[in-house]
Every structure is written in C-alpha cells, then in structure tokens.
Chains A and B, each alone.
Chain A
C-alpha cells in the first residue's frame, strides 16, 4: 500500500517488524490507535491474533506462549496498563520476555478527562513494576522502537513497553474517534 504524501504508515511498519522478530501470537484489547495494526494482524495467517476480554489476560497469554516456545506481543491502550499491574509481578519474578505496544490516551491533547489520571501515570506504573519504557512521539520512531523492544525482550529476557504518544495517533475529539 502506497503511503499518502509524507504520512508514515507506522502500523504497517510495526507489522513488518513483528514478522522480522518472529512473533507468532498477538494479543489485544482494541484501541482506536491500534485499529489498523489489528486489521493487519488479523489478515496475516502467520499470526495467531487473540482478542482479549481484558489486558491482564494478555500477560497470561504471552507467558503461556513463551513457555510453549512462541514469541508474542500485546497491543493495548494506556488505560489497559492499569489492568495488568499484578500480572506484571509474575512477569518479573519468572523473567518472562514481554513486549507491550501501548497507544496513549490522557496524554497529548486529550479531550476526555477520565482518561487523564491513568494516562499520566502509565509510564510510572510500568516502571514501578520493572518494565523498560520506550516513549515515542513521532510516527517514524514507532517501528524502530518496537524493533528495539523485541530485541531487548527476547534477547535480554526483559519486559519492554513502547508508549506511542497521542501526538502520533492524532485523535482529538469524540467525533473523530467515532468516525474511525
């Protein structure tokens, strides 16, 4: 698919990075910011794409997949990070590798006040649980950060989260989100 003008098709680039990194399982709770990547993953027969009822399940899914020899990534919104906190303790204790790709809310130009507390705490909550945080604020930085996260996670047996800024996602109103 041709990229429009100067826009970077960062979801497609993430998908390519996931293939390169040997990812076999993708767990997600949908977020508008992940819409295109989720569609790309579902369309790829080489990925087992698993819709979760809550983000915490994804931590279990990823741990189980790794026990069975498969690499995975989890896609979620920043609010979902709060649903994972206790499970991240297990990731740390067992030294499970884990890659989280988190699209931010409550951060850059947020329009919903209910998103702000968790969005503002996301990085600190992750760091408190021993997760390495890579923040990206420009479209062209996203895929390289996911690549680095996968290398650190699976080469360095670490838990790594890529936080994709709302500045990249660019949704500024309820109306825009509903029109996705």
Chain B
C-alpha cells in the first residue's frame, strides 16, 4: 500500500499550537522535520545517539510528569531501540507519546529499505510492550485525533505514521550539543537550570 501522507505536513500538524509540549527529535529526517515546523528550545534534536530517542523521551517524561512529551523519530532509529519500548511499557508514563515517521527507508544513507518495508509492524510491537494505545496512521483524517491524544490523552501512546519516501531540503537545527542541552533546560527550568 503506497503512502499518501507527507512527513513535513504530519510533523507540522502534530506540533501545531504546541503549548508547553516537550519534544525529542530522532536523528536525521525527523530532526529536520521538527525544525521545519519551527525551531524551538523545547525540542531536543539529536544529531547522533541512534536508537536512544525513545529512552531520552522516557527520562524526560519521568522527570516532568506534568508536561506532555512527544518523541518524533524515524523507523530506522526506532528499530535500533526496540528494547526501549519494553522499558517504557514497564514504566507506563502517562505523559509520553512516541511517533514514528515511517517512510520504510534509511533516508540519510541512500534510501535503503528498513524492516518496516518488509512488513515489520512497530505498532503491534508497541502494543505487545503494553503501550496504552498504538496504531498505524495512514490518512490525513486521522491526524487530528492523533494530535489530540499526544497533547492530552492517557499514555504511553505510540503511532507509526506511514509517509511518502521523499527526499526533502535539509532544515537544520543548531548542531552544538551543549547549546541544545543548555537552551532546553533554560527554557524548561528557567534560572533553576543554572543552579541545579
């Protein structure tokens, strides 16, 4: 089944009117997608640490239980950290959503097929790991409900959004890791970030 959703539009919709949502963006295309939707200090974009986006989201969700946390990452990145879905399933963070933008390709390295192109179903893995809700999203008409669940529904929530395997212009966030860490903490914690 060929995909009809476009990744930049999906991410832009999920981040629309984000309020105090905290974001983690997996390395590569999903980081560029989040930046294209508007660079924010409250999104932590990864330039490395492949496989760790969901774990970083878990740590953030546990530390900030009153804030919503959304991890936006790619299918290849998620596949490298499948164990973290089991770890999240044990912790049951109600404020955490994992959104996999699934183009079924390793987009940064030559568009090689990932496991999801061969039918590996990440949403069913998440369900088996005790996520409260997990689904494959294919239609634009489903995005409003997904956005609403991310911003206010009971998690942990997982969505695997099938998107067109397009190559897009790069929209890059800052790449200095210490800067990204410091600006996130300043924006979230205020002056306390400097004395903690």
Residues of A within 8 A of B (CB): 24-25, 48, 50-54, 56-72, 86-87, 89-90, 93-96, 154
Residue among B46, B48, B59, B81 making CB contact with A68, cutoff 8 Å: B59
Closest to B55 in A: A60
Instruction: Please give me the residue from chain A that is nearest to B86 by CB atom.
Output: A53
**Whole-angstrom distance between the Cβ of A17 and the nearest chain B Cβ:** 18
How near does chain A come to B68, taking the closest CB pair, in angstroms?
12
Chain A residues, CB < 8 A from B178? 93-95
Alpha-carbon gap, A58 to B64, bound state (A) = 17
A12–B15 Cα distance when bound, in Å, is 45
Q: Contact: B64 with A94, CB < 8 Å?
A: no
- Most chain A beta carbons < 10 A, residue from B24, B54, B87, B196: B87
- Which B residues, 41 to 58, have Cβ-Cβ distances below 8 Å to chain A? 44, 46-58
Q: Is B83 an interface residue (CB 8 A)?
A: yes
Contact indicator per residue, chain B 162-186, by CB within 8 Å of chain A (1) or not (0)? 0000000000000001101100110
B3 at the interface (CB under 8 A from A): no
Q: How far is the CB of A65 from chain B (nearest CB, A)?
A: 4
* Residues on the B chain within 8 Å of A50, using CB: 58, 62, 87, 90-91
| Bound-state Cα–Cα, A51 to B83, Å | 11
A70 to chain B, nearest CB (A): 4
Q: Is the CB of B63 within 8 A of A65?
A: yes
Residue in contact with B57 in the complex, picked from A58, A64, A87, A90, CB distance below 8 Å: A64
Q: Can you list 13 A-B pairs, Cβ within 8 angstroms, ordered by A? A: A25-B63, A48-B91, A51-B90, A59-B55, A60-B56, A61-B62, A64-B24, A66-B185, A68-B188, A90-B46, A93-B48, A93-B178, A94-B181
B: residues with CB less than 8 A from A are 22, 24, 44, 46-64, 67, 81, 83-84, 86-87, 90-91, 177-178, 180-181, 184-185, 188-189, 192-193, 196
Q: How far is the CA of A54 from the CA of B87 in the complex (A)?
A: 9
Contact B59 A56 (CB under 8 A): no
The docked-state distance in angstroms from the alpha carbon of A52 to that of B193 is 27
Is the beta-carbon distance between A60 and B196 smaller than 8 angstroms? Answer: no
Q: A68-B63, A86-B49 are in contact. Are A95 and B56 (CB under 8 A)?
A: no
A60, A87, A94: the one contacting B58 at CB < 8 Å is A60
Query: A59 vs B64: C-alpha distance in the bound complex, in angstroms?
Result: 18
Q: Which of A64, A70, A86, A87 counts the most B-chain CB atoms under 10 A from its CB?
A: A64
Residues of B contacting A52 with CB < 8 Å? 83, 87
A62 to B46, CA, bound (A): 15
Q: Which of A60, A87, A95 meets B59, CB within 8 Å?
A: A60
Cβ of A53 and Cβ of B59 under 8 Å apart? no
Chain A contacts for B83, CB-based, 8 A: 52-54, 57
**Extra 10 A-B pairs, beta carbons < 8 Å, given A68-B62, A90-B48:** A50-B62, A53-B84, A53-B86, A60-B56, A63-B49, A67-B44, A69-B196, A89-B48, A93-B47, A94-B180
Interchain CB contact under 8 A, A95 and B177: yes
